[in-house]
A and B are shown apart, each in its own frame.
Chain A
Amino acid sequence: MSGLSRTTTAILIWLLLLTMPYWMGALGGYTELGSRVLVLGLAAMSLNFLLGFTGVLSFGHAAYFGLGAYGVGMTLKYLAPSTPLGILVGVAVGALAAALIGALIVKLRGVYFAMVTIAFGQVFFFIAFRWNSVTGGDDGLTGWSRQPLNLGFGNIDIAGNGTAFYYLVLALFAAAVGIMAVLLRSPFGRTLLAIRENERRARFLGIPVEQHIWLSFVISCLFVALAGTLYALLNNFTDPRALRWDQSGNFVIMAVLGGMRSFWGPLIGAAIFVVLQDYVSSHTENWMSFIGLFFVLVVLFFPRGVLGIIRRKAAS
């Protein structure tokens, strides 16, 4: 891939995202669907920071996504009617939990890392599910909604205006994605790639592998938590399913479907997944079977993802 085409891809993606509310309707979609693609795309790209660029398989990212979602919901419900504060709390809670759990698991690798992350993810599911009086239990956390942004000189009505909310999501998405891109180009990011390619050699070079993986895990979870807060704000609602294991699996399939080795791949994977799920679940009750079949087909026939295939074609 030449540098030029990579820049072209990025410009094209940003243009599409910036104009989304104007062409989404013409294609039969709706702005909320666009916001959902962006939010889940952010989650998948954050997961891919760990999965694709550090080479560590986490299958429990829904936990941090859900922590973000509950963090923002509970802040708005119990603490103060401030959207930015809610987002901050949600992200902080998610990152803190990741820092603690990450410290417990950085020594594990491969399948075992995956298994432990899955299992730990369930803790938060059960807390949300069982702690009825605070979290609303199985019915979810209701009785709150996103509040207009107060910028001092005026309000931005993200509460009533879906398009305004879309642009808030896009702004935060841009910030998060920008930070991740910068990190990946920094010496820290290069070190992560080195660990992915050959952990043993990285260790021989004196790189503190565990610390790097821990930090990568925390960064990844922090942005997933951000996505979680936006997801809850988008729906003005959250329930335990936001942090259940099937949600983690969805993030992983988005990353794989789009292409784990590419920066933008997971966003494309998320777009395909969200549109497909939207379509299938409105046409059949047995959408689970279709999604399951989709997983199987992706694994068997598209393990490199959409962008992986395009790159391979371009290279040959």
Chain B
Amino acid sequence: MTQLILFNIFNGLIVGAFYALMALGLSLILNLSGVINFAHGGFLAIGAYIAYTLMPYVGFWGALLVAPFLTAALGLVVERVLIRRVYGRDPLYSLLLTFGLAYIFEDGTRYIWGAQSLPYPIPGWLATPLSSEMFFLTGYRLFMVALVAVAVAGLFFILNRTRLGMRIRAGTLDLETVSVLGVNVRILRNLNFGLGIYLAGLAGVLAAGMLGLQPTIGTSLIMPSFVAIIVGGLGSLPGTLLGGLLIGVASGITTVFFPSATEAVMYVMMGVVLLVRPRGLLGEEGRIH
């Protein structure tokens, strides 16, 4: 029993790490540009499939390194051509636009790579369990958690220690002033979008190794990411991270006792948070309006 609970807590942590990675990207874009990127899951799937396509040529590690950057590049183009046009308009339009993009991405990946799920090979030494007692603790899973941790640390380093990050944070608070101070806001939003999509692409490559590939791989991850943002607190990136891990672990534990409520539990958590603390766990006051 303890082993089962441990297994599910660890599993929840991994799933939560994915949610967090997705949600951090979503949050970045939402905070700076006010756009809910419905197509985020689509970008995740594309990242995974790009890695799959590249792997025969550049190997597992090459794909892991390159695919997220290619996904981010696609993100930069999409932002430049489409998303930019709805900045400053009613949020309705950005929602509909990215919603349509999500349809196109899902259908596009199905068209190009097929509807059936594809296996995503990982190096043999990563796939073996570390010990027979802790059978669930494969090297790949540990590696994933470690890599997500590195990515998150990298993100916070960029935001807190670089000029770009400083501008993103400033823009989140007051974009107009940042613009008046001579920062090119168009480029800033473009790069910020790319950064968010990079995280989605990375999550996609990692998810592929664990779940295999299917066109709907991103769609199933996007709703929990919304929940992670709301639970963690609107406008707060550490909150988003916390929210993602929290709902992941919560659904992991629920799997042990009440499997059919695995997904529902995070929405219950969201309801409770909205009831007792509408701004979310680490949210700043006043952001919700």
Give the B-binding residues of A (Cβ under 8 A): 51, 57, 59, 101, 104-105, 107-112, 114-116, 118-120, 122-123, 126-127, 130-131, 245-246, 249, 252-253, 256, 286, 288-289, 291-296, 298-300, 303
Contact = CB atoms under 8 A, between A and B. Distances in A.
9 contacts: A57-B92, A105-B274, A123-B264, A249-B95, A252-B92, A286-B111, A295-B96, A299-B86, A303-B93
Nearest to B34: A111
Interface residues of B, number: 44
B263 interface: yes
Interface string B94-115: 0111011111101110010000
B108 A126 contact: no
Among A112, A114, A115, A286: residue with most chain B CB under 10 A: A112
Given A104-B271, A108-B288, A119 B223 contact: yes
B82 interface: yes
Contacts of B38: 249
B44 interface: no
Interface of A is mostly: helix
B237 interface: no
A289 B109 CA distance: 10
B267 A295 contact: no
Contacts of A298: 96
A57 B223 contact: no
Interface of B is mostly: helix
Contacts of A303: 89, 93
Interface string B245-289: 000000000000000110110011011001100100000000011
Contact of A122 (B106, B223, B229, B260): B223
A296 B275 contact: no
Nearest to A109: B289
Among A114, A126, A298: residue with most chain B CB under 10 A: A126
A158 B101 CA distance: 40
A245 B223 contact: yes
